[in-house]
Structure 1
């Protein structure tokens, strides 16, 4: 019988040292897993963000259908009502006359109204504007950039920005008669 020390030594000398290597499939799987976890983490962080209901309004620039440039920050000192809408949106049709009426009654008091069309064609938007006689600023949200910044979940949605540039109301439903009047009167009080 051999000495245990000798048999271990013989075993170690007979077996060349081996290194564990990852195969290509394992590497691809590992990279895929890391990317998947990164995407899930990003979606969680992004999905947990909410619409602005207070604090500084996110600035944006909109090219209106009239070819003008509307920049939110240029209207600091005035109350700004931002309305996201689309011609295919049934509740938007109900609120369009209300918004036009608000614009006509409050524009001389320092209120600005801007419509941001969401996922709509230019021709359909222009037909809608003409049908309802809308005269306030309106323009397309090309690439849904503004909608994504304001984290809208659908249309219509309306945000009211005070004279200091802060969001003071987020209305995630169609505007009703008198609803904006109450908000605007409160903001316009001396």
Structure 2
């Protein structure tokens, strides 16, 4: 009850049931703003970089093999993000395959991660460039999101401690550049 200036009492009508929808709307709006802010922060962080640990993810290849990135038994891990529709990816495809052939018996594992593609087009790309190292689709873009890639191609060279040693954003320009990054991983 509230007292009016003339001494009259007026009862204020309050309905507790009407407050809950308003509270729920505010909780929803604040939660949405929090998620948006978190997404913006991750976007501004850029790709994971040199010195960061490789994310704990599993790539399922086009052949059905599941490969846990942190459990790969190799001195060096090369992860290449690509897509069949990506023209710059085509520029480095043969050099990556040549590097794979050079290092496949030397504890270097190559993995290709196909970004936002159809399986038919991806398999066609692998066949066109005679790529023989394991490749798989980035289902739900969870791997590319964990690496926070900016686009394709991007390549990450990971050393024996499972930390990133080199990052190439864009296509490698030569086989020698790939070799240089792999050799750097051996010396770290």
Q: So what's the TM-score if we normalise by structure 2?
A: 0.83
| Residues 19, 76 of structure 1: alpha-carbon distance in 2 compared, 3 angstrom cutoff | farther
Query: CA deviation digits over 1:165-184, x for unaligned, max 9?
Result: 11111211111211111111
Output aligned runs, 1:44-63, within 5 Å: 44-53=40-49, 54-63=51-60
Query: CA deviation digits over 1:16-73, x for unaligned, max 9?
Result: 2547888899667745653453244223333233322122111221111122222222
**What is residue 157 of structure 1 aligned with on the other side?**
154
Matched, 1:179 2:177: yes
| Mean CA deviation greater in 144-153 or 66-75 | 66-75
| Residues 109, 15 of structure 1: alpha-carbon distance in 2 compared, 3 angstrom cutoff | same
Distance in 2, Cα, partners of 1:30 & 1:12:
38
Distance in 2, Cα, partners of 1:154 & 1:188:
27
Task: Report the CA distance between 1:140 and its aligned residue.
Answer: 0.7
Matched, 1:101 2:95: no
| Residues 29, 186 of structure 1: alpha-carbon distance in 2 compared, 3 angstrom cutoff | closer
**What is residue 115 of structure 1 aligned with on the other side?**
112
Distance in 2, Cα, partners of 1:187 & 1:70:
20
Task: Report the CA distance between 1:122 and its aligned residue.
Answer: 0.6
Query: CA deviation digits over 1:105-142, x for unaligned, max 9?
Result: 11122111100000011111111111111110101111
Query: For 2:55, what is the secondary structure of its paired residue?
Result: coil
| Mean CA deviation greater in 64-73 or 132-141 | 64-73
Aligned equivalent of 2:71, options 65, 74, 78: 74
Gaps of 5+ in 1: 1-8
Structure index of larger Rg: 1
Distance in 2, Cα, partners of 1:69 & 1:182:
29
RMSD (Å) for aligned C-alpha atoms = 2.7
Q: So what's the TM-score if we normalise by structure 1?
A: 0.83
Aligned positions, number: 182
